[in-house]
Homo-oligomer: A and B are copies of this chain.
Amino acid sequence: MSEPDYDADLPANVERALTEFIGRAGTEICTTEPSVQTGIDALSDFVLNGGKRLRPTFAWWGWRGAGGDPAGPDAEGVLQAAASLELIQACALIHDDLIDSSDSRRGSPTVHIAFAKHHADQGWLGSPATFGLAAAVLIGDLALAWADDMFADAPLPAAKIALARPAWRAMRTEVLAGQYLDMRTQATGDTSVEAALRIDMLKTAAYTVQRPLHLGAALAGADEELISTLLDFGGDVGVAFQLRDDLLGVFGDPSVTGKPAGDDLREGKRTLLVALGLENAARRDRPEAAKIISGAIGNATLSDTDVEAVRQALTEVGAVDAVERRIDELTGTAMAALDRARLAAPATAELTALVVKATKRAY
């Protein structure tokens, strides 16, 4: 077998590491208790079937940029530690889908829906929905426990794992805090710009970009200054990603985004786009626009015509331009931080390509 070319084909290597880990851990427990196979298969399918592997990619380039050698003895261990982030993400998504009562993800039924259907198909006792809930809670928990196992048992010197633990700790607590803040904000009805930005920082920037970069750089023994610069870069890039995602959620082409246009509005997501829309409408004394926007948030029955009206309102009050400007500014400051970081080649080029791809106008 030839040596893996990590740099050239990172997603395939991440998937290989996940396949190996889940195979090993799954075989172990299914030998003890064969009836859990269905649960393990569901987790395996969920993790291996799709996803952009964004978090492992940032972790990998954080490591490479801080001097990690892809031909050296640590490469496979770093790959495994980076790939473990996908198991955290599996827990976050499986539990999120349950909380949001989402029926499908990436074209397949969500875990709680699939298990409820399995229960109903088998004509089992009790409520299918309760069975689905139980399965989604437990399979998500297993993903979280396995993420820790995969990270902690990565074949790396213990001292290097220890260096990465502050990033690992912060990431898991921050994403859960971000989700908590998100549900709390939806409940309180806080539509402020400030609340939207705080959620973006914790749920997207910290979890998706900052901490994966931090983790990778720490595994390479990066100093405080480099880590701090990478956190600056990751914070700006992560918020810019989220703002582009927010725009796509309202203005995006469903055939590209993979979800119906306006679903973010129907679900009541508190985005900066909406917050700026309401703020600008108030400031510019445009009560009609304010009414259209606020009436759309969390309105599950929103039609395509309604969504079009919200698009017009957001555009007219200048919220779209304001978000675009902010994406440009954040991308600019991020690129300046990346420049200051003076990463080892080709990390700068790879990270730049990721930033461009995830922040460019796509509609």
Contact surface of A with B, Cβ cutoff 8 Å: 25, 28-29, 32-33, 35-36, 39, 91, 95, 98-99, 101, 119, 122, 124-126, 130-131, 133-135, 137-138, 140-142, 144-146, 148-149, 152-153, 158-159, 162, 165, 169, 172-174, 176-181, 183-184, 186-189, 198, 202, 268, 298
Contact = CB atoms under 8 A, between A and B. Distances in A.
Given A125-B298, A177-B33, A95 B144 contact: no
B39 A141 contact: no
Contacts of A99: 130, 133-134, 137
Chain A contact residues: helix, strand, loop or mixed: helix
A177 to B, nearest CB: 5
A153 B163 CA distance: 11
Contacts of A138: 95, 176, 179-180, 183
A33 B198 contact: yes
A95 B136 CA distance: 11
Given A144-B141, A159-B158, A28 B173 contact: yes
A319 to B, nearest CB: 22
B134 A173 contact: no
Contacts of A39: 180
Given A98-B137, A202-B33, A125 B180 contact: no
Contact of A145 (B130, B144, B165): B144
A178 to B, nearest CB: 8
Contacts of A91: 141
Contacts of A176: 138, 141-142, 145
B28 A95 contact: no
A107 B173 CA distance: 29
Nearest to A185: B35
B186 A33 contact: no
A125 B183 CA distance: 10
Contacts of A173: 25, 28-29, 142, 145-146
A186 B126 CA distance: 8
26 contacts: A25-B169, A29-B174, A32-B174, A33-B198, A35-B180, A36-B181, A95-B141, A98-B137, A99-B130, A99-B133, A122-B188, A124-B187, A124-B188, A125-B187, A126-B186, A134-B179, A135-B180, A135-B183, A138-B176, A138-B183, A142-B176, A145-B172, A145-B176, A149-B165, A153-B169, A158-B158
A137 B95 contact: yes
Nearest to A136: B137
Contacts of A25: 169, 173
B187 A126 contact: yes
